[in-house]
Amino acid sequence: MRILGIETSCDETGVALYDTETGLRAHALYSQVALHAQYGGVVPELASRDHVRKLLPLARQVLAEAGLSVDDLDGVAYTAGPGLVGALLVGAATGRALAWALGKPAIGVHHMEGHLLAPLLEADPPQPPFVALLVSGGHSQLVDVRAIGDYALLGETLDDAAGEAFDKTAKMMGLPYPGGPHLAKLAASGRDGAFRFSRPMTDRPGLDFSFSGLKTQVLLAWQQSDQGDQTRADVARAFEEAVIDTLVIKCERALQQTGRRTLVIAGGVGANLRLREQLAALSRRSGVRVCFPRPIFCTDNGAMIALAGAIRLQAGQHEDTAVRVMPRWDMAGLVPVREAGRERAGAKNE
């Protein structure tokens, strides 16, 4: 099957073409960072309008790079949620209309399931069961993946997500938007031990996260410092170490609790170099396998949506002609892929 994937959940327009026989054929991504930078954050209405402008040109680009036309498609996948409602509607309406015009099936994909499955785009992909850490600007979750579509939430953030904490801390110290990547880069020049912050909720049982208190610690330390360039780097390093150490401790606990031997990391924070280094160290000392997608597939992208959609379309799952999006969508409500296949078989026998 050749599936066109569309991602428009927030401030990045992603399109990709995935072939279930040959793999990823082409992908393209447009970031709206420059558009929203002057406002210090994403403006939903501007995001929606920019998706309208960029989506079809990107789809044409991807098809041209793959050497295909729309008539060669076997289905369309689009992000149906969670995300900004206006942005989601742009992708859903485009994907649903294209599928209807071609007489092909379409599927709405859960954005976080797309992230969770992104490592399957790599060579030697992990196979369930495994533990997944979904860590981004909007989510910090540990999930027990028993099968594709069969997910059990092990722990999640009680307040700020890890990526959100990175962005807010960076903004607090006057770093440019988006702050998270700038803070991580600055942390590389920080001095070891100049500051130390707590590792939240690691002194008690459980797999939930909390980063709001850590953010307050950083604010107080920053306000009481000389706020010079070296101090900024020192604070950035101590903050990054606290967040990453917390994530690694919780991952190790989740692996021990479930008995899984594979850990999958997905989401924008998955591109963080220190996180990758610390989890590689966890792999060496414990013998568990740790799997990351390429950094380009850590952030929002069309390839992960095309892949997730292809898996579900192959199982016989698809949408009707209505355009539906779910800005809030619990991943626990997804239908396991094997059940989608059984439902299709049952419908044929009726």
- Say if residue 119 is preceded by a cis peptide, omega within 30 of 0: no
Annotated binding-site residue? 134:
yes
Q: How far apart are CA 264 and CA 121, in angstroms?
A: 12
**Long-range pairs for 269-274 at CB < 8 Å and ≥24 separation?**
269/135, 269/136, 269/162, 269/163, 269/166, 269/180, 269/298, 270/133, 270/135, 270/295, 270/298, 271/295, 271/298, 271/299, 272/184, 272/240, 272/244, 273/184, 274/184, 274/187, 274/240, 274/241, 274/244
Annotated binding-site residue? 301:
no
Q: Which two tokens stand for residue 140?
A: 């910090």
Annotated binding-site residue? 159:
no
Annotated binding-site residue? 136:
yes
Contact at 8 Å (CB) between 278 and 250? no
Please state, in angstroms and as integers, the Cα–Cα distance from residue 53 to each residue in 11, 81, 100, 225, following that order.
Answer: 13, 20, 21, 45
Annotated binding-site residue? 333:
no
Contact at 8 Å (CB) between 325 and 80? yes
Task: Name the DSSP class of 132.
Answer: E
Annotated binding-site residue? 272:
yes
Half-sphere exposure of 298 (CA within 13 A, CB side): 24
Task: Name the residue with tokens 């939240």.
Answer: 200
Report the SS3 class of residue 136: coil
How far, in whole angstroms, is CA 217 from its chain's centroid? Answer: 27
Annotated binding-site residue? 135:
yes
Annotated binding-site residue? 180:
yes
Q: How far apart are CA 109 and CA 310, in angstroms?
A: 10
Q: How far apart are CA 235 and CA 223, in angstroms?
A: 11
151 CB contacts (<8 Å, ≥6 apart)?
113, 116, 143, 144, 145, 331, 332, 334
Annotated binding-site residue? 167:
yes
Q: Which residues does the annotation place in the binding site?
A: 111, 115, 134-138, 167, 180, 272, 300
Annotated binding site for substrate: 134-138, 167, 180, 272
Binding residues for Fe cation: 111, 115, 300
